[in-house]
Structure 1
Amino acid sequence: MFRKVEINVPLLDVPKYAKFLKELCVHKRRKIKRSKEIGGVVLALTKNEEFTVALPQKCRDPGIFSVPCTIGDCTFADAMLDLGASINVMLASIYRSLNFGDLEPTRMIIQFANRSIVQPLGVLVDVLVQVNELIFPADFYVLDVEEKTSEKGSTLILGRPFLMTAKTKIDVHAGTLSMEFGDTLVQFNIF
């Protein structure tokens, strides 16, 4: 709209024109008569209504969601479920202890949340992951990274593909997590 506009303005009048142009370009939200604004939300009140909106109570961070699972002979007490991960991840030390054979090569490059970049050693395809009595297939990208796991850290990350396969439902408010296969349903308390 303003690509070919030329304005000749005396130097003393520049602040006035700047304010005028800013008002032209910025769309302001008009406030409705007899309305109140709470957290960016405008609530319009009728003539006889009082302002009695009950806001929900803020809750604390529930932390990471984890479940116990078994792969081969290794049992993991806290495999992390990560809705932000588009892949399943296993550390190279775990892969070596499982003795599953060769990895399939991959050209994928993974960027972590802290912007660091790592190339996986390969992909471990169709690994059977047992969660209680349920067994699900999963593909794992094997990473050779430094193990800096603390007491709460996990060496296994189950991402969205696994969560989708296991039909995982997480109810953060109730503190429950469920996985199902066929008629069998497994439920966990996550807090």
Structure 2
Amino acid sequence: MATKDKTLHSMPSYQALEQMPIYAKFMKELLTKKRKPLDDETVDMTEECSAIIQKKLPQKKKDPGSFTIPCSIGNLHVRRALCDLGA
């Protein structure tokens, strides 16, 4: 039960609950005291949900910008042609 106590006290805002629809109802019931956790009760969480609750999400990286390459067609030389990755 110690893990659950730690999880409940470090619970992120309601927005994080919206990102975890599978666990939202369960956690709302616990937080509003409509449901009491049992000592032997466990809840399996995906890695993503666990990371959100424990606030261990990776930091966002800076926008890498556009991907350009040098391109030559005949006498036309373009130093920074936009590359289409097809994504």
Structure 1 or 2, whichever has the larger Rg, is: 1
More strand by share: 1
- Pick 1 or 2: higher relative contact order, CA cutoff 8 A, min separation 6: 2
